[in-house]
Amino acid sequence: MLKNHPYFFLFSLLFLVLISFLFALTTGSGQLPSQTLISLLDGTASPLFQSLVFELRLPRALAAFAAGALLSIAGVLMQVLLRNPLADPYVLGVSGGSALAALLAMLMGLNTLWLTGSAFLGALLSIFLVFSFSHSKGSWSISRLLLTGIILASGWGALISFVLVISPPEKIHGMLFWLMGDLSYDRPLLPSYIILLFGFLFSLSISRQLNILLWGDLQAGSLGIDIKRLRTYIFFISSLLTAGAITLAGSIGFVGLVIPHLIRLVIGADHRLLIPASALMGGALLIIADTLARTVLAPQQLPVGVLTALIGVPLFLYLLRRSQ
């Protein structure tokens, strides 16, 4: 039914995003009486409620939405690029390079801005390394790309373990939070949203070509698509999206792998729909997960990465079973 009414589906997802924003803004360990909600809108609420909602909850929800949307689009692209259902945004080692740089920044005790900057640079370095090693003269085969990425990812993994081992115990907790994905940082939002907007529009503009690429290289080639160039575009856009997400929230697992599959189960593999729907769904899931992460055990705080899978796995299994 949803397949025949794509716009209905997109609108319901948009509604879901709105609901999750409302959920995030009204839920927290600082109790907010419901009558103050209205006073928040006309600006007559007490300064405490103002800062609770607009300085703590809203930036976090916005960061969660951006990270979820970035990861979901990156996941869609990576799965097309590698023609592998197990591909996720981190499979080519982007997160590893970024995490290593971030952990080193934490080890040196740098502030949030430097931490964010080095995470982004680490991701770019990793992207550059994968591209230059896999992009040999002429051919650019998928297996070569995948192999390079996976090997590089294991290399980063080893270095990350090394940093964890040599780090003083009081810093390890923060590092583990970062590795699991953590939205408690007060990071600049604008760069991520620029990346999101750019990546979203660009992948939407090549969504027809993505559809054709699914049929195979031969068909796509015979339909006049420059496969090599398209692949290069997909590689860079998905990597950039991933870098944006990691910089914002650490390496949150699961979202980039499963959201695209989840949406495909519901509406099929047409990328014109799959891309916006995944972005909305991923964003909404991460907002809900992060709100739960900061409230379920409050005042104990959890890394959001723990919650994404806990919510996503049952949802995915349910949809998988129903689709049979």
Residue in 6, 18, 102, 15 with CA at minimum distance from that of residue 61: 18
Counting contacts by CB under 8 A, is residue 154 touching other proteins?
A: no
Residue 189 CA to residue 59 CA, distance in Å, equals 8
User: Looking at beta carbons only, is 74 or 105 nearer to other proteins?
Assistant: 105
Of these, 5, 11, 15, 29, which contacts other proteins (CB under 8 A)?
Answer: 29
Residue 166 CA to residue 114 CA, distance in Å, equals 21
Given the rule CB under 8 A, which of 73-81, 184-192, 195-203, 272-280 is the region that contacts other proteins?
Answer: 184-192
Q: Distance from CA of residue 34 to its chain's centroid?
A: 32
Give me the least distance between CB of 24 and other proteins, in Å please: 12
Counting contacts by CB under 8 A, is residue 28 touching other proteins?
A: yes
The DSSP result for 138-198, as a single string, is: S---HHHHHHHHHHHHHHHHHHHHHHHHHS-HHHHHHHHHHHH----S----HHHHHHHHH
Give me the least distance between CB of 253 and other proteins, in Å please: 19
Given the rule CB under 8 A, which of 81-89, 133-141, 250-258, 295-303 is the region that contacts other proteins?
Answer: 295-303
Residue 12 CA to residue 24 CA, distance in Å, equals 18
Of these, 118, 148, 184, 308, which contacts other proteins (CB under 8 A)?
Answer: 184
User: Looking at beta carbons only, is 65 or 185 nearer to other proteins?
Assistant: 185
Give me the least distance between CB of 291 and other proteins, in Å please: 11
User: Looking at beta carbons only, is 92 or 175 nearer to other proteins?
Assistant: 175
The DSSP result for 192-236, as a single string, is: HHHHHHHHHHHHHHTHHHHHHHTT-HHHHHHTT--HHHHHHHHHH
Residue type, 247: T
The DSSP result for 234-290, as a single string, is: HHHHHHHHHHHHHHHHS---SHHHHHHHHHHHHH-S-HHHHHHHHHHHHHHHHHHHH
Give me the least distance between CB of 193 and other proteins, in Å please: 20
Of these, 300, 322, 323, 324, which contacts other proteins (CB under 8 A)?
Answer: 300
Counting contacts by CB under 8 A, is residue 216 touching other proteins?
A: no
Which residues, 39 to 78, sit near other proteins by CB under 8 A? 48, 51-52, 55-57
Which residues, 92 to 151, sit near other proteins by CB under 8 A? 109, 111-112, 115
Site of interaction with other proteins (CB under 8 A): 28-31, 48, 51-52, 55-57, 109, 111-112, 115, 166, 168-170, 173-174, 177, 184-186, 294, 298-301
